[in-house]
Structure 1
Amino acid sequence: CPLLAVPLDVGFWHEIDPEEAENDIKGSITYNGDSAGLPARLTIGEFSAFDMSAPTPARCCPAIGTLYNTNTLESFKTADKKLLLEQAANEIWESIKSGAALENPVLLNKFLLLTFADLKKYHFYYWFCYPALCLPESLPLIQGPVGLDQRFSLKQIQALECAYDNLCQTEGVTALPYFLIKYDENTVLVSLLKCYSDFFQGQRTKLFPFSLLMYFTPMFSFLFLVSHSWTLSILSSSFQSVEVLCFRDRTMQGARDVVHSIIFEVKLPEMAFSPGNLLVFENWEFNAKGGAAEVQRLNLSFSRLAESSVDLNLKLMCWRLVPTLDLDKVVSVKCLLLGAGTLGCSVARTLMGWGVRHITFVDNAKISYSNPVRQPLYEFEDCLGSGKPKALAAADRLQKIFPGVNAMGFNMSIPMPGHPVNFSSVTLEQARKDVEQLEQLIENHDVIFLLMDTRESRWLPAVIAASKRKLVINAALGFDTFVVMRHGLKKPKQQGAGDLCPNHPMASADLLGSSLFANIPGYKLGCYFCNDVVAPGDPPTSLGLVPHQIRGFLSRFDNVLPVSLAFDKCTACSSKVLDHYEREGFNFLAKVFNSSHSFLEDLTGLTLLHQETQAAEEESN
């Protein structure tokens, strides 16, 4: 099967350097979501292609590539494609010889991307290439190919899924591009490529199975690696064959499907390898019929028109109503929305309307039949087959509404106080990974929106954001009430007692300054967990009134605009909680997750305060 590339979208061309350049880029390869029989897809992230450390989407394998961008259409057409192909193939060959490909098999998943961007007309040209190595002689097919369900029983297939998932979890990935497998009627074992010697030690059967997640061009390089690295060390001279399992792992309508995987056995040649007998398999992009694809051309003039219209609307609003509004700052701000439900969908649409271009969703729920009527980023079709993940579907819908937005979604859980995570090492390790990912997401964004449906789920991001000095906007809905508030933006540790946060993208003397009535500096404002402790007041800004919090009561059509000091015994933003978090990290968080709410109350002094209050009441009686 050939490997097909998904067309490059708007965001990728926004990030590309228009000058002629060579850059490392990253993509992902998957079968997930496609019908059986279709080729694997190579997807290049719109805004993450140039971030080599960007996370790989679920059930996808990473692929590394080289971007060759030309600055004229003529240089694009006359580029020496054969030379580029040979250079890439030699890089694969060197990684095989050095053993680097065994340690990091992703090095076999090499691709090239040749581009030209005509910025005057907003026409973009590109051509993919997938270099691979070929053995000097053909590989005789001994058996197959056949479907996995024709060779494996249901019990074996389930054992394979379980073993594969456990290995992925151990390695901290959602998919593995290549792995080893050995099996009998009752068991299926898997391991990493680099462990082949120990994994197959004492093996006496004819079957030496190796597995390939995707059946596409890099399989040739994989078999080349097998022949070079393992022919002499594992396979005996009487038989030199391997079974190859093309493990196609996908989710269709909410159910996992691997039975369309195929398995076959090939005979490997006895040969000595040298650069002289290294053959390059020329493989520029295929089209859907399996033939050589033509150069792809993308016309984004319509996208530019849409973006200009959006910007014009904002500029008119700025010109006529708020001349001091810095639209460039609004466009560049990165917003993290924790929660993709009723609040998350509405906030995202509003942010886009204000010109925000970087929006990230976090949610672990799936879209249910009750959601689309209240949550405007979803439709009925999103509910079918147990429902799409909310965060991913919301990000996808934002990009359909306006292709110029950089929207991403993360399907993940947020650990909560009083919700134990120590039942097993697996659960504890997953909680640790969730915390680390949440910390990284908050670090990479400027404004954090807490839009979840439980109070407990807001605690951890409130603590992390306070520690990292990030601006937090909190919104919550009741049956006939609501509250919207901004947390106090803590002072950077290295600054003086009277300093604010001048480098924050949303910071200003007005936004963080004193309130009109209570004379409370912005960095001393309370958070969601400590806001009901002092009398109300209203802080002014150049945008008019930007209150610390708004509390609405629909039953009497009334809004209250209180402002409150940070509570020194707050269970989220007090110095005691932040000091323990910053000193102990996840160990402190694990205590919070696994303890009752009294742990935080004891730590912050709330327990003692309650006791003193109760004693005072008893004395007065």
Structure 2
Amino acid sequence: MAAQTQAVTPLQFLPLSTSISPSFWHRLTDLKLHHLKLSDDPMPICGWFGRGKQVKDRVTGESVAISAGLELDTASFDAETDVGASNTTVVIDRVRLRGVLRNFNTIEEFKNCDKAKLLDELGEQIWQQATSASSSSVTLESLNPFLLITFADLKKYRYYYWCGLPALAQKPGWEIVADWREVSLPGTSTAPLHLLRGDETETGALADAAAFWANTPADERRIVLSDPSAHPSAPGWPLRNVLLFLSITPTLTQPITSLAITLVRDGQAISTRIRRQGGAETKEEAKRPGTVGWEKNEKGKLGPRMADLGPLIDPTRLADQAVDLNLQLMRWRVMPSLDLEKVKSTRCLLLGAGTLGCYVARTLMAWGVRKITLIDSSTVSFSNPVRQPLFEFEDSLNGGKPKAQTAAAALKRIYPGVDATGISLSIPMPGHPIPPTAQDAVRQDLATLERLVDEHDVVYLLMDSRESRWLPTVIGAAKGKLVMNAALGFDTFLVMRHGLPTEESAASTPAEIVPGAPYRGQLGCYYCNDVVAPMDSLSDRTLDQMCTVTRPGIASIASSTAVELMVSILQHPQGALAPSDITASKASPAAPSSGLPSPASPLGVVPHQIRGFLANFENLKITGHTYERCTGCSKAILEAYRTNAFDLVRQSCEDAKYLERLTGLDKLEEETEALLAEGLDWDEEDEEAEL
């Protein structure tokens, strides 16, 4: 017989405190950015609690009680994941609870939501289970749902949260009628809650209480609970709703008003006897109690908590998430179809690390591009830092630092997560002879340039001379790369993409360009409009011709336009083969107001060329087809490159007319003169006829 207590004391319950791992907030951040976006719909989560334990203090030798809390981590979002084998919710000493997460979009919504109503909705679910005529699915888990409301400040990595573990405050409650005593661990069951009868080892489930205890005397009924509390006389919060269920469930002939409880903790089990204050309550008398359970904050008051992960996260990782934040926000409301991963994974090769190169690199980083390689052969001069934003005054001292490496280092200082590389490399140019002693070096430079083009997806031509763009144009065309070109005049700029072969371009003659219609033939390259081959434009120049004389703001305009055009191309289903489209509606690309078809790229049109005129602040979109005698992308040039690339480079450098002979441009003048002469004869004949 159980020893009697000297005085009857109310049974109190120790609330569960939440313990949220940083991995939970990282997972929530990812879900919010990529999946939830503006949705604040409830979503299922799960958490776990362990067993309370006693730990000996190493200094004093005294035993310290440590209660377990409700643990949440990244696995909490996998609500269907059990912590153990199938059909069980416990492994050794961890019990799973299911919950609901409500993540609000603003701090005001978080503060002003009806918290009492939210918690009471779960309380109603508990009451319906407890009073249902069918209780076959009742478990410790189902009687103890939890609610977590949050607001994630993703700019500062601060997470405001408040957890509620609803319990129905039953009145009258329960009281302890026997001393707590330590007992042997009963049975071998791993269930977090099971029933016993007297000294029998057979166990029963909570849902089977009516049948299991049908003929069992009241003093032989016992429940065994995996208990998160370490308090010597207060069981954990999950027991509260279990006792409510046993005291009012309609499946029992007589509600339970007296039973023994055994609390299994880490390494020990303690037991006592309890009874319902006021005795039995009929089913008709049972009324739904009020719901309690909001967790207290660190000040011991009812209120939310805040987790500040900023100081805990590696600064580089913080930068990674911050760089992508604004981009991901585009997909929430403005442009859900935007494929940011395609942009992020694009490898960009920038030929030229001057004014255009610096601005292009910065804009690429703003779009989330991680792989940027810069090539340049010059050094930083005193005039560069004010116009080229990746350089500083110190970079121009002592003869100047190499531009490419210095620019790459600056990119890494701005954002450590970028894979930026700078390479000093000279690019052979038509009309610039190669000394015999330098041929091996040029051959090596050519091989390096070819390798770099192979390793990247997009090639930017950002050099300061026309002839320096020729060899990368040829290599890009031969290897089928997307080549972006940006060039400056005093108050004008050109941004264009080089065309690639398409099915329509297989015809012997270029497709006709129809105004207002997308052009699906092969688009031209930088040299397709030329009637002469590129030649030496750097020698015999005055000072104003040697320096870049442009309006200072035009470089950033051209650079950003080039990057934006690249991103629009990447979003098009046909990518680099996208037809030139210059006639989109003035309305949003997603909802054009005119009768014109909506562009295939969610960002709008993908023109071939954009020519900007700063004098009147206008842009002109132009489409140009490929030219069969082009010195940059014609079949003759590409065949010569594939046959012997170095020989093509060597001859074009040493003989200014070589490319014209190779492509047939040298015959163009003769053909033109013949046509003019033929046209002149027609004019004379017409005049004679009129006489």
Q: TM-score, normalised by structure 1?
A: 0.46
Taking structure 2 as the reference length, what is the TM-score of the superposition? 0.42
